[in-house]
Chain A
């Protein structure tokens, strides 16, 4: 079997466009590298280099049989790597393999166009995973380079940069059209939908389950959980910023889960205090819950209130979600539905004797629930419990080990242990997951809440006053609550890494500067997200209403849009039709200038007049410049028609020296 066929010499691609296309495709694949099987990346590189190697005179390109064998083995390798051919990672791997195979066989215009289209599609794929501004700028640059590669293929420009310049010119001239499309192209988010499943998005964030280490695992992540704007300007103090998330009802020592669904009793008017309006844009986390300041109103549109007073979205959140929510800080709930009471009391396992003894002592001394809570908190304080990001792992009997032996933990340990102790003491208790605090971006006047702000706290039901938020971390590590985790760890020397450990002035200055720059960049990114990425159906409608259109008038809108786009194209074409002046044709330019000058002196050259004839006529009419005129016309005709033409510079000099008297 012949595995190589001769390359068709007529359609063989020149080396330069091939190299450029290969580089562009490599750049387009780069953002996907963690999503694609590594052997596919290797295959991609090998395919590109092979094709470049084959771009020699009389080299043969692979035959169809070889390509079928290659594709078959790639498909087999994908099945072996992922166990399936469906899903986005196998899909991307197939795409990369296809690009690699297409690259090997690329040998003509058609193949080249297909390669470019695959490259544009790879650009799109990169945007599935992140819509960060930096990534978009990168993708935009790759897009322009791909266009430049196509331009280079279709032309043989004088300089290497000209295709890039042309591609940029195309993009710049398209900017008005892009803006028009962006504003007027009908956006719809309804109708058909498909979503990637969670693992593909690599979304990080908390789950609806609390176990030792689950919050600490997030503590070093600088990823943004959500950003918040307070449109009414009412910003609570940082220490009061408890961002409420899922509420966990079923506890087992240090591990808490949401538990079975509880029936919801819809009652209103239980929250009090000033309403704080928030506009939150939540990064995807793959769950349905959303976050809001403690506690969100039950009748928040779009969301469903849950027992425990947190909100659920109608489907898992896989894209940035932007929502408005109002919270009130006070809770006036005085009666608890029976099912919730039962769920909040039930200990999953019987407390051990040591714990029972400890709790019994508190119960004996305390007059009411609040005193039990105080006793427990005092216990954490007095017994030298310590707060650490790396408390080590807890095994069986975790709760007892934590309370009586190691006495070291992170906020999830304290919240879980506290709630477990309260239940052992007969008080209804639950654990709340969420975030605490955040960082204010003064430039954009919004809060950034990062994964490192993840937090867990407990709530205890007190007869007569309702649910009371108890944050044991506040007792163990008060600074953590008042100033946030990062600065807490810094001041404690429990360094995030050794590089920031040395606290010289220079180091601190550098840290502050990079923090400021980071905040400035985050602001740009946030504005990008708010103004560009989140420009959806609703925003479009609002914007069009501002412009004075109702969205129902789509026919005039479409007409206006298309006319405007047509107008832009006409302008571009007018710009492209401007007469060209050759940079090389010095003689022509000098002659043009000469004719213009003679014309101002009163003798216009007729269209049918040759240089000699015109020269004679002009010389006759402009006697005093006779010699100069004849010299110019003679030089010009010799440049144009003589087999040994004089240098154009000579003509230019002659034109410049020509003295004319104005009439």
Chain B
């Protein structure tokens, strides 16, 4: 007995599609700027048909018009059932770009032609000249982080000018892609003064910090980034400028210390302080309403603090 293929192939993606893939919903096919040229040439053909009584020109006009109309349907069908998985690589500050790895495949097991995948709110696109029916294609796009926050999805748009380029098929959707956007580090307030003087074991000078601590001779093998090139230009030997951060102090970065500022400004200022403190090698603690992170430093702490800022509930507008 012949297998009932139809009922089986109706949901072909059940077994093979990863769960997180997002299948783009309805596609719209819109005119683009090339459509104007298309109409100009169609008009010229029609005009030649009318004025010259030229049946061949009429026929060419109809062929062109017919093919253009059919190309709209092809453009639409090409974008149907596109499945996209997105994976954000790292958190970013608001206003920065962050990279997103994308994987695109056809939920309908058809070759997809000339697909552009781009962030709906700005960024650079990824171009897939061909996505084969049985081979998902990987790409990377960059998104400009607009607002701080913790997001579960990313708004992406797929676009294609296939087949003839006189119409653009478009579809927009929210693709599952958990990502965090930290507040933009802004604000001119100085870092709060250390509140405790708990000596840490290492102490001494660090090569990084905000305060100039003097110079020493450069040793071979060291990074050339900190060489005082101006001094070299004056004919002096290779020296390294050293900067110190106060490693002894612990700063408390507290929400309430910025009492009279709007929420977002406060968060930006806190983000800047966190960055400053981390760069300066200081221990820093963060205190937000209902949140208390003990003093620490290092990458994990840094991101934990910033993430708390990103998660901070937005001010409810009256």
- Answer whether A and B are interacting partners: yes
Within 8 A of B (CB), among A440-499: none
Whole-angstrom CA separation of A95 from B73 in the bound complex: 32
Q: Is B294 an interface residue (CB 8 A)?
A: no
Known contacts being A140-B63, A588-B16, is A173 close to B37, with CB within 8 Å?
no
Known contacts being A131-B56, A156-B129, is A170 close to B165, with CB within 8 Å?
no
Residues from chain A with a CB closer than 8 A to the CB of B51 are 192-195
Whole-angstrom CA separation of A157 from B110 in the bound complex: 12
The listed residue (A113, A124, A140, A181) touching B166 by CB distance below 8 A is: A113
Whole-angstrom CA separation of A536 from B58 in the bound complex: 10
Contact B37 A569 (CB under 8 A): no
Contact A640 B15 (CB under 8 A): yes
Q: Is B76 an interface residue (CB 8 A)?
A: yes
Whole-angstrom CA separation of A583 from B111 in the bound complex: 11
Whole-angstrom CA separation of A572 from B70 in the bound complex: 8
Contact A128 B63 (CB under 8 A): no
Contact with A along B33-52 (1 / 0, CB 8 A): 11001101100110010111
Q: Is B313 an interface residue (CB 8 A)?
A: no
Residues from chain A with a CB closer than 8 A to the CB of B3 are 592-593, 596-597, 600
Residues from chain B with a CB closer than 8 A to the CB of A140 are 60, 63
The listed residue (A109, A121, A178, A196) touching B63 by CB distance below 8 A is: A178
Query: Of B6-14, B193-201, B244-252, B280-288, which binds chain A?
Result: B6-14
Q: Is A123 an interface residue (CB 8 A)?
A: yes
Interface of B is mostly: helix
Contact B55 A533 (CB under 8 A): yes
Known contacts being A182-B59, A596-B8, is A150 close to B165, with CB within 8 Å?
yes
Within 8 A of A (CB), among B17-46: 33-34, 37-38, 40-41, 44-45
Residues from chain B with a CB closer than 8 A to the CB of A193 are 51
Query: Of B130-138, B147-155, B207-215, B260-268, which binds chain A?
Result: B130-138
Interface size class of A (residues with CB under 8 A): 35 or more
The listed residue (B33, B52, B77, B165) touching A573 by CB distance below 8 A is: B77
Q: Is B69 an interface residue (CB 8 A)?
A: yes
Known contacts being A175-B66, A192-B51, A588-B16, is A127 close to B56, with CB within 8 Å?
yes
Whole-angstrom CA separation of A318 from B52 in the bound complex: 8
How far does the Cβ of B226 sit from chain A's closest Cβ, in whole Å?
Answer: 35
Contact B60 A143 (CB under 8 A): yes
Residues from chain A with a CB closer than 8 A to the CB of B111 are 157-158
The listed residue (B11, B54, B162) touching A151 by CB distance below 8 A is: B162
Contact with B along A355-380 (1 / 0, CB 8 A): 00000000000000000000000000
How far does the Cβ of B58 sit from chain A's closest Cβ, in whole Å?
Answer: 7
The listed residue (B54, B72, B108, B109) touching A585 by CB distance below 8 A is: B109
Q: Is B232 an interface residue (CB 8 A)?
A: no
Whole-angstrom CA separation of A113 from B161 in the bound complex: 11
Known contacts being A124-B48, A156-B130, A588-B16, is A147 close to B164, with CB within 8 Å?
yes
Q: Is B1 an interface residue (CB 8 A)?
A: yes
The listed residue (A114, A143, A569, A600) touching B64 by CB distance below 8 A is: A143
Q: Is B228 an interface residue (CB 8 A)?
A: no
Q: From A536, which residue of chain B is reached at the shortest CB distance?
A: B53
Q: From A534, which residue of chain B is reached at the shortest CB distance?
A: B55
The listed residue (A116, A124, A534, A582) touching B60 by CB distance below 8 A is: A124
Contact B110 A580 (CB under 8 A): yes
Residues from chain A with a CB closer than 8 A to the CB of B66 are 171, 174-175, 177-178, 181
Q: Is B74 an interface residue (CB 8 A)?
A: yes
Contact B73 A572 (CB under 8 A): yes
Q: From A182, which residue of chain B is reached at the shortest CB distance?
A: B62
Q: Is A613 an interface residue (CB 8 A)?
A: no
Contact B15 A588 (CB under 8 A): yes
Residues from chain B with a CB closer than 8 A to the CB of A569 are 69-70, 72-73
Contact with B along A558-581 (1 / 0, CB 8 A): 000000010001001100110111
Whole-angstrom CA separation of A114 from B44 in the bound complex: 15
Contact B160 A154 (CB under 8 A): yes
Contact A580 B165 (CB under 8 A): no
Question: Chain B CB within 10 Å — which of A128, A580, A596 has the most?
Answer: A580
Residues from chain A with a CB closer than 8 A to the CB of B50 are 188-189, 191-192
Contact A155 B129 (CB under 8 A): yes
Whole-angstrom CA separation of A592 from B9 in the bound complex: 8
Q: Is A599 an interface residue (CB 8 A)?
A: yes
Residues from chain B with a CB closer than 8 A to the CB of A600 are 1, 3-4
Residues from chain A with a CB closer than 8 A to the CB of B60 are 123-124, 127, 139-140, 143
Q: From B108, which residue of chain A is reached at the shortest CB distance?
A: A580
Contact A112 B165 (CB under 8 A): yes
Known contacts being A131-B54, A170-B70, is A576 close to B77, with CB within 8 Å?
yes
The listed residue (A109, A128, A565, A599) touching B165 by CB distance below 8 A is: A109
Contact B164 A177 (CB under 8 A): no
Contact with A along B159-180 (1 / 0, CB 8 A): 0111111100000000000000
Contact A591 B15 (CB under 8 A): yes
Contact A535 B55 (CB under 8 A): yes
Contact B54 A178 (CB under 8 A): no
Contact A533 B106 (CB under 8 A): no
How far does the Cβ of A393 sit from chain B's closest Cβ, in whole Å?
Answer: 38
Within 8 A of B (CB), among A297-311: none
Contact A189 B53 (CB under 8 A): yes
Contact A174 B4 (CB under 8 A): no
Residues from chain A with a CB closer than 8 A to the CB of B73 are 569, 572-573, 576
Contact B77 A577 (CB under 8 A): yes
Residue contacts A-B, CB under 8 angstroms, 15 given: A135-B56, A140-B63, A143-B60, A150-B163, A156-B129, A156-B130, A170-B164, A319-B54, A533-B55, A573-B73, A579-B12, A580-B108, A595-B8, A596-B4, A640-B16
- Given A166-B163, A584-B133: 4 more A-B contacts, CB < 8 Å: A535-B55, A536-B53, A585-B109, A599-B4
Top 6 A-B residue pairs of the complex, sorted by shortest distance between their CB atoms: A596-B3, A533-B55, A156-B129, A174-B66, A155-B113, A576-B77
